[in-house]
Amino acid sequence: MRYRQGPVRSHPLLSSMPKRVPMKMLATLIIALLIASPAHAIVGGGTPQADGVARAVVTIVGSRGNFCTGSLIAPSLVLTVAHCVQPGADYKIVGHGTDGQPQLMNVRTVAIHPNFNMQAMQSHRATADVALLQLEIPLKRKSVVPVGMPQIPIRVGGRFTIAGIGVTVRGDGKSGGITRIAALVATGQPGTLQIRLVDPVTNGVRDGIGACTGDSGGPVFEDKPNGAVLVGLISWSTGPNGAAGCGGLTGVTPLTLYRDWILQTARSWGAGL
């Protein structure tokens, strides 16, 4: 597996499994998790979805025990966040083929945006938390998602949809598994560097719906005239009132400044978007 850039560190949205797990064992555990029922994602209970944008969502598993969410943006390309695929580990993609069964896919190359800063991300500051993965063999699915940019200016109260395979109950890995979605709204001072989303019912002051462990790298969609477009990536989360945990803020890296890098990297691999 070829790499570009970066140290290896942990992050609250990553799972807390052992640091090194044999990939064959880890893959078996993840596939069993995906097949298990019931399965959930998005802390607080997002809506389960198997069709539409959810068809492009994949699971990323690492040999250090972490799992994250990614989006298939071309048959051989997965978009995710940089902190999920740092050097020092091997990564594989778990997706579903046309027969609906989980498939374990090898990753050929990982490209991390050169401006990514791990310390900034861990402090919930804006950074280029973006990475692109190239699969050895294209994943044959019926759906990929278009990569775009959020409508500018981004307004407080603007509606976005997040998707992820993470846990519904913080600390309970068994509560993660299949794709769930949730409708959240922008709060604070949203812009081209960072967007902070909250559950419109709880407004981030008490437990609500939001991203949690395993949802890192998940797609953030905005409705456009021709349908939903991937405009950002889930980067971090907090508990209510900014406390540690989940169910408060969902931090998003918008793709406004990074879409050109994604397109250029894809072209350099011979994969057009």
Total number of domains constituting the chain: 2
Cα(81)–Cα(265) distance, rounded to whole angstroms? 15
Alpha helices in 1-127 (DSSP H): 23-35, 118-122
Tens of pLDDT along 113-169? 999 999 999 999 999 999 999 999 998 766 889 999 999 999 999 999 999 988 877
Question: How is residue 116 written in tokens?
Answer: 């990514």
Tens of pLDDT along 196-242? 999 999 999 999 999 998 999 999 999 888 888 999 999 999 999 99
**210 in any annotated domain:** yes
Percent of the chain at pLDDT > 90 equals 59
Q: At 56, is the secondary structure helix, strand, or coil? A: helix
Instruction: Supply the pLDDT for residue 218.
Output: 96
Task: Name the more confident of 175 and 2.
Answer: 2
**17 in any annotated domain:** no
Q: How confident is the model at residue 5 (pLDDT cuts 50, 70, 90)?
A: very low
CA distances from 193 to 80, 81, 123, 206, 253 (A): 16, 14, 14, 26, 7
**74 in any annotated domain:** yes
If asked whether residues 125 and 71 sit together in one domain, one would say: yes
Range of the domain at 104: 23-38+54-144+259-268
- How many other C-beta atoms are found inside a 10 Å radius of the C-beta of residue 7? 9
Which has the closest alpha carbon to 252: 228, 234, 227? 234
Tens of pLDDT along 52-73? 778 899 999 999 888 899 999 9
pTM, 2 dp: 0.85
CA distances from 161 to 2, 73, 134, 155 (A): 32, 17, 25, 15
**180 in any annotated domain:** yes
If asked whether residues 61 and 166 sit together in one domain, one would say: no
Return the residue matching tokens 């969410």: 69
If asked whether residues 189 and 209 sit together in one domain, one would say: yes
CATH number of the domain at 67, please: 2.40.10.10
H/E stretch holding 111: strand 102-112
Return the residue matching tokens 């989303």: 197
- Locate the DSSP E strands across 123-263: 131-135, 159-164, 180-187, 195-198, 219-224, 227-237, 250-254
Weakest-pLDDT range from 11-15, 156-160, 181-185? 11-15
Mean pLDDT score of the chain, rounded to an integer? 83
